[in-house]
Amino acid sequence: MSTNQSIELSLPYRETQVLLHTCCAPCSGEIMQALLAANIEYSVLFYNPNIHPFQEYEIRKHENMRFAEKYDIPFFDGDYDVNDWFTRVKGLENEPERGERCTVCFDMRLERTALFAHEQGFNTFTSSLGISRWKNMAQVNDCGKRAAMRYPNLTYWDYNWRKKGGSQRMVEITKQENFYRQDYCGCIYSLRDKKC
């Protein structure tokens, strides 16, 4: 396990478990290890219908699943409802990364995560989306908080996973675990616009 034992984590409102929405193994590895080190009970939901093409989606899902299985973490696979995703982002195809298209995408993914949390009895959920330096953390957190407001007694935990060396440990764990490392965010438009 990584050197994150010194990080003290506690869930909001003294909750004892959290649902973690993950986007890929590189982004979630540090968070998963930090939660384990803090003895926080959690489950993983992989819900990312934005990822294109489907083969890329499968690679990212299976890498994330492999890491969860290594630590015996419950892993749930959300639907790949890509048609709904394309419907939601219609007209936003030329938005830049971190723009309105990303807000719509985060809303969709975190709304589904909030619904799953509510249905499965979780009072708290969080996401690995904000750990990446390529993402706007405030944008992700705003989407998570909006999603949580749909259900009574549900909280989005907006912990800053980048702080206290989290971003560096994310890179270290990715190397240690030999995770597949993608070179674009995930959607067809980020693939189109990636800078190689």
Q: Are 20 and 43 within 8 A, CB to CB? A: yes
Using only the alpha carbons of the chain, give its radius of gyration: 16
**pLDDT for res 50:** 96
Of 62, 70, 83, 71, nearest to 41 by C-alpha is 71
Tokens encoding 179: 């995770």
User: Across the strands, what pairs with 45?
Assistant: 21, 76
Please check whether residue 148 is in contact with residue 42, taking contact to mean a CB–CB distance below 8 angstroms: no
Q: How far from the centroid of its chain's Cα atoms is residue 127's Cα?
A: 4
- Return all residues near 103 (Cβ < 8 A) that are at least 6 apart: 139, 142, 143
Tokens encoding 195: 């800078």
pLDDT at 134: 77
Q: Distance (Å, rounded) from C-alpha 42 to C-alpha 58?
A: 23
In the chain, where the domains are located: 15-193
Residue with the two structure tokens 């995560």: 113
Q: What is the pLDDT of residue 195?
A: 59
Per-residue pLDDT of the chain (196 residues; tens, 9 = 90+): 444 445 689 999 999 999 999 999 999 999 999 999 999 999 999 999 999 999 999 999 999 999 999 999 999 999 999 999 999 999 999 999 899 999 999 999 999 999 999 999 999 999 999 998 778 999 999 999 999 999 999 999 999 998 888 888 888 999 999 998 888 888 999 889 875 4
**CATH class of the domain defined by 15-193:** alpha beta
Total length of the chain: 196
User: pTM of the entire structure?
Assistant: 0.93
